[in-house]
Structure 1
Amino acid sequence: MRSHTRLAAACAAALALVVSGTAPAHAQDDHAATQNLLNRYLAQAGPGVAVHAGNATSAWTLTAGTAQFGTNRPITAADHFRIGSQTKTFTAAVVLQLFDEGRVELDAPVERYLPGVVTGNYDGRVITVRQLLQHTSGLVRDVRDPRANPDGTYALAELVASAMDEPRQSAPGTAIAYSNVGYMVLGMLIERVTGQSAGEAITNRVIIPLGLEGTSFPAPRTRGMPDPYLPGYGGGRVGGFYLWIDTTTTAELSRWSTSGNMASTLDDLVEFYQALGEGRLFSAEALAEMRRVVPVGEAGAGLGVDRVPLPCGGVAWGRTARCPPGTRR
């Protein structure tokens, strides 16, 4: 992947083109068109936006606005933020490692690994692991009515069970239908096969080996982030002004689990996506499976990643970040 520009979207920092290298001293002067686009975006949103981009030899971060409302602190590539649905790519990476180890078959029914879990309005004997990874399982998009534990946290099994009476989005294997619930089922699969919690498996198999010191799969009731971090805001426009409410710690992240609860930095996401493309997390065979896409217009949906054609030529591989409520920027 070093020979191409890669794409990764960040909830808190808008859009990031992730590569490696050292930022040039005058990045904003060298990329005036991109900076102008960020300035225009900021006029409609905010309070801050950043793009982390680069090529095979260097990288740079362009910013507009501020990392924190009421201050004048530009967003940096070292800021921690909620990565939303990019969590799914970490989840998919562990499943593909299990595929490499011969412990999971991608085209096997999920019932083989989680008997009696995918039931109700769904049939785990028909829905495959690949379909869960590729959003073609037909499972409902979101959990709607899970029962919280007494301490306000959510068990992964309860999240999944509460969604089994929801109507399906499509028949398995017939259409792309984005599903957070599908990735919660994959979290349960990881737990059943590895004997670890999903967070432990992602940490031990991906975060620690890659040295991603700014990346975390938070434990239940862990809502804060280490400094420096990008707050999440809610609110809206009032006349010509925005009213921002800090919602960084309002969401219980166990409610999203393996579908969207992780935090990271732009620097760490560079390392993670490069590791995927360079075969440092799993085999070339597993990477080929990850990149077997279902076409979506000119783009394509793979296993935890999307293929996005670039207007300048070539393609980007990454994951757009759909953010849980209370973590949007």
Structure 2
Amino acid sequence: MPHANSLSGPLDPASDAGYVDAPPRMGFFTDTSVCIGCKACEVACKEWNGVPGSGLDLLGMSYDNTGALTANSWRHVAFVEQPRPVGGASPAFHGTPDGPSVSPATAAVAAHTSTDTGTFPGLPTGSPSAAARMAAGPEFLGMPGAQPPGRGTGVQGRGDFRWLMMSDVCKHCTHAACLDVCPTGSLFRTEFGTVVVQEDICNGCGYCVSACPYGVIDQRSGDGRVWKCTLCYDRLGAGMTPACAQACPTESIQYGPVEELRERAAARVAALHGRGVPEARLYGHDPHDGVGGDGAFFLLLDEPEVYGLPPDPVVTTRDLPAMWKRAGLAALAMAAATVAAFVGGRP
């Protein structure tokens, strides 16, 4: 498998890895402004990939029962309860509550699962579509007193806090440090530009765990090997949409060519700014950032730290070439000094 990981400027990671005539880079755009915290993505990921359960931990009073991305949680839906002034509701949903238009890859699935009289997992035939249910009002969530971000009325009608929800996942970095440090080639770059773990040849060294700038990669207890999101590599090869994006009822998770998703994301941010949501911003979309841009990027409604994301991620192996160069020069200098001392000390 190709295993290159250049650190020089913007690039197509698949071509950089040695693939010839690679297909467009595929990825995720997650619009947190329309995430309702249903965790359908988590369930779909586990079901399709056979990811084992990790027990039930309600983390106190939070609905966030998974807590973080782990070897047993390749998708994690974060619930962030955030104080805000009464009456300070964000108008993100005003006017057009269904959010941005979707990519053709997502729409191809939505055409069969999100019609006005379509079917959804766990809902009877003839249930309303995601957009119709969102337009119906606060009862859409199905959790007492809960509304999507921007509705502005919290538990039991209070308006003094909001819930920020985000479905987190492996970022499939352009410059992936995990690829640089893997000694067995277990981690490899696919023809779609994604990063996948071949668990059958992972030796459990854990180098990639500390190398990941996002803290995504994790070793499974009792197993020792690392596991993470593959962006459903088996489904991509068959022309199918990743399980999480297919299951998302609000199309908060969009799948498609990364360049197209970046354009759609920029348009969505501009639309939210126009509706009076100045805090909307993109994260992980910039090909000139510290990891060369992510294959999975996000629209956030607050600072990255609020969601548990690093504000300025940098590929952790960035300085390795310079370090090895300095080490080589130092070794040559020591060798030259040793030879000079030996020659100069002879009678």
TM-score by length of 1: 0.28
| Structure label with greater radius of gyration | 2
- Give the alignment's TM-score, normalised by structure 2: 0.27
